[in-house]
Amino acid sequence: MRLRLLPFAASAIAVVAFAGCGSSSSSSNNIASKGAEQILSESKLAADNATSVHVSGSLNSGGAPVTLDLNLVSGVGARGELSENGASFKLILLGSTAYISGSPAFYRSLGGSAAAQLLDGKWLKASASSGEFASFGSLANMRQLLDTTLASHGVLAKGATTVVNGQQAIALTGTSKSSTLYVATTGKPYPLQITKGGSESGKIDFDNWNKPVTITAPSNSVDLAELKALAGH
């Protein structure tokens, strides 16, 4: 069985690297009175100090619709679901190990009908630090991922205050990515959302900051390295 990995990992990372985050409190944090770069800096600091976050949304990546729904836990990993062009899979990341449970369409895209039959109802276990699933390792490092998310937006311009998902927010528009970042103006200044136009249009939301999330390895996994050994690869 020769596995042919679709660019899900790269697409997922692109989605999250385009994303923002969430907060909850009714007291003003006075962030809206500061300059754009200072707002971004304080948002990044708040995100770096968080223990967990939920990220969800969708955008176009290379003409293909990509969606994700992930819980990230600092120092532990991630769990959730991603899809591209209708082929979806569940993902658990624990340290340097990735576990993937895909739809029949996803498994067929990896290894044809034989893979879809063999892996139906099972989790595929593989390294998230090397090999086919190495790109998923970047999704497991919450702090690194959020640093990438909030970096290099080009020249920032502060926009108007608005409401995003029920929370007061200040808008920051970045020229380099043609995107708008919304930062909470109450509670901690977490980013709430990023929207993007053009050929990669979409929207990503982050919420449930610091809420407890349990991530455990599935019991019915099939080791990719063992499959390759049996197949002679």
pLDDT reading at 72 higher than 80: yes
What domains can you pick out in the chain, each with its CATH number?
8-231 (2.50.20.20)
What average pLDDT does the segment 119-139 reach? 80
Percentage with pLDDT > 90 across the chain: 27
Q: Is pLDDT at 12 greater than 60 in this prediction?
A: no
Of 132, 18, 14, which is closest to residue 62 (Cα–Cα)? Answer: 14
pLDDT digits (tens, 9 = 90+) for 79-108: 999 887 777 889 999 988 999 888 787 777
pLDDT of residue 80: 92
